[in-house]
Amino acid sequence: MPKNQEDIKFVNQLKYSRWNPEYRLWEVPDYPGNLDLIRDHFNDRIGQVIYHESFDISVSNETYTIGRNEVLAFKTRTRRLRIIFGFDNELRKLIKTFPYSSWDSKNKWWNLPYSEVYLNKIQELSADRGLGFRYEEEPDGEPGIKRVTPFDLANYRVCPEAMVLKLKELRYSTSTLKTYTSLFEEFINYYHTYEINAISEQQIIAFLRFLVMDRKVSASYQNQAINAIKFYYERVLGGQRKFYFIDRPKKERTLPTVLNTEETLALFDAAINIKHKCAIMLAYSAGLRLGEITNLKISDIDRERMQIRVVSGKGKKDRVTKLAHNFLNTLDEYLESYRPKEFLFEGEKGHQYSVSSLQTVIKEISARAGIKKRVTMHTLRHTFGTHSLEGGTDLRYIQNMMGHESSKTTEIYTHVTTKGFDQIKSPLDLLNLKKKD
């Protein structure tokens, strides 16, 4: 805004407002009522109000994308933690109590030594403050080029409104909407000097090649980028389908990580919090996806039929899965302790428990259980499928309970099961090897 003493005095009165000298702008926390006060004061002098569901921290060749009400804890290869969040005074006070913590004014994050104790305290306070919590680790190996952010381009372009409206009109999920708009923004800002509708097929192919060779994105990321680009040019512009000569990456065929029964029991024993224990037992006992767990409502539990109703699972399809008898005691203990009102797992103010919180929870519990494998909530879903197969359940029933569209997806568990392996002998075991004296 133009320099004006009356305006500066007004902004200074807003709680925790501050001047950012590097970017020469005022930063005001998104507290209830602040936006209304700003609108009342500036009135028709406000040119535009843009709502961002996420924002990028992009400095020192590092880019982190976090939601408006999200805390990101990032562990570096040197065992340091970077804590990134929008201004929150209580969280700031907590971090300042940790020994050797420091504020990096250039990069706008907190630095501190890696400690699970610190992580747990930050996560607990984040939950109390109604903030989502996300934990990431710096990958090994040579990183790829970071994506372009609003900090890199003066005229950064947002996703066209026509594409957003079309996605909503066709009832695409919130997750898909965020993914497509984010990926399409990356594409149109790669060619930021071109009109969007004038970008050629050869340029599209060049961008996809850039994603693989320079950005070093995964095959899944590349596929989603292709889908986002095709959606705009085919569904938004006139609706005519056009064939693009784009080589899609081959799907990486990797076997899922599966826990054995001892590891599964160790995981349950390591869950100290009854809510966390209930969530991981549910994932294992019913084969649910992470988003299905957080979307589950109390009314979806049918004790009479011993079934769980999964509403609008992947592909917007409803299904039922098994409610385990051995799960009921843990479920009742949890319901008695937490008394959720609508969703089975609720966070602050009765909202759904966040996906990021569950991801962090399973990581902490598996570490506490001493499991060396990389365990995620989806690992428990794969373990459900494998153990059900080993227990004699027909593949067709497993397919229906897990919500797989194709039976080929379910058949992957035949490759990881140990059933019958004890009957197989290695050729080496058939040799009569001489033992050393």
Determine the pLDDT at residue 169: 92
Both 88 and 185 in one domain: the answer is: no
Give kind and range of the element (H or E) at residue 410.
helix 407-410
Domain presence at residue 382? yes
* Tokens 């996605």 sit on residue: 167
Asked whether residue 26 is domain-assigned, the answer is yes
Lowest mean pLDDT among 18-27, 107-116, 281-290: 18-27
Tens-digit pLDDT profile for residues 158-213:
999 999 999 999 988 877 888 899 999 999 999 988 999 889 888 888 898 888 88
Contacts of 40 (CB under 8 A, 6+ apart): none
> Does the pLDDT value for residue 105 go beyond 60?
yes
Long-range contact set of residues 208-216: C-beta below 8 Å, sequence gap at least 24: 208/246, 212/249, 214/144, 214/145, 215/144, 215/145, 215/146, 215/147, 216/142, 216/143, 216/144, 216/145
CA-only gyration radius of the chain, Å: 25
Mean pLDDT over each residue of the chain, to the nearest integer: 82
Lowest mean pLDDT, pick from 70-74, 145-149, 334-338, 377-381 = 145-149
d(CA 321, CA 261): 21
Whether 44 and 116 share a structural domain: yes
Is 145 within a domain? no
Q: What are phi and psi of 134, to 5 degrees?
A: -130, 135
The catalytic residue positions are 289, 314, 378, 381, 404, 413
Three-state DSSP state, 175: helix
Same domain, 272 and 403: yes
Check residue 315 and give its pLDDT. 57
Q: Using N-to-C axis directions, what is the helix angle for 161-169 and 174-190, rounded to 10°?
A: 160
CA atoms of 356 and 366, how far apart (whole Å): 16
**Strand order, beta sheet including 319-322:** 301-302, 307-310, 319-322
Question: Looking at the predicted structure, is the pLDDT value of residue 364 above 80?
Answer: yes
Instruction: Say if 206 falls within a structural domain.
Output: yes
Residues 63-68: contacts with CB within 8 Å, 24+ apart?
A: 63/146, 63/147, 63/149, 64/109, 66/134, 67/132, 68/30
Q: Is 131 exposed, middle or buried (0-12, 13-18, 19+ CB in 10 A)?
A: buried
Say if 426 falls within a structural domain. Answer: no
383 vs 142 pLDDT, higher one: 383
CA 171 to chain CA centroid, Å, is 21
Residue 332 lies in a domain: yes
Neighbours of 102 (CB within 10 A): 11
Residue 51: count of CB within 10 angstroms of its CB: 7
Tell me, what CATH number does 305's domain have?
1.10.443.10
Phi, psi of 35 (to 5 degrees): -65, -40
Angle between helices 355-368 and 274-286 (to 10 degrees): 90
Distance CA 252, CA 220 (A): 9
Taking the C-alpha atoms of residue 305 and residue 307, their distance in angstroms, rounded to an integer, is: 5
251 in a structural domain: no
| Inside any domain, residue 127 | yes
Are the CB atoms for 211 and 217 separated by under 8 Å? yes
The whole domain housing 114 covers 5-137
231, 284: one domain:
no
Amino acid at 343: F
Which of 136, 86, 109, 70 lies closest to 347, judged by CA? 70
Sign for the CA dihedral angle at 194, 200, 203, 204 comes to positive
**Same domain for 353 and 290:** yes
CATH number at residue 200: 1.10.150.130
Which pairing describes strands 25-27 and 54-59: parallel, antiparallel, or unpaired? unpaired
Q: In the predicted model, what is the mean pLDDT of residues 76-87?
A: 83
Helix (H, G, I), strand (E, B) or coil at 135: strand
The number of helices, as runs of H, and strands, as runs of E, in the chain is: 16, 12
- pLDDT the model gives residue 332: 96
Question: Both 170 and 68 in a single domain?
Answer: no
For residues 299 and 372, state if they share a domain.
yes
Angle at the Cα of 191 from the Cα atoms of 185 and 193, rounded to 5 degrees: 115
395-423 per-position pLDDT tens digit: 888 888 898 888 887 887 877 666 665 66
Count of structural domains within the chain = 3
The C-alpha atoms of residue 116 and residue 367 are separated, in whole angstroms, by: 10
Considering the domain architecture, whether residues 403 and 328 belong to the same structural domain is answered as yes
- Are both 119 and 35 inside the same structural domain? yes
Separation of alpha carbons 58 and 386, rounded Å: 42
Q: Are both 79 and 221 inside the same structural domain?
A: no
Same domain, 229 and 331: no
Residues 201, 269 share a domain: no
Give the pLDDT mean for 48-52. 60
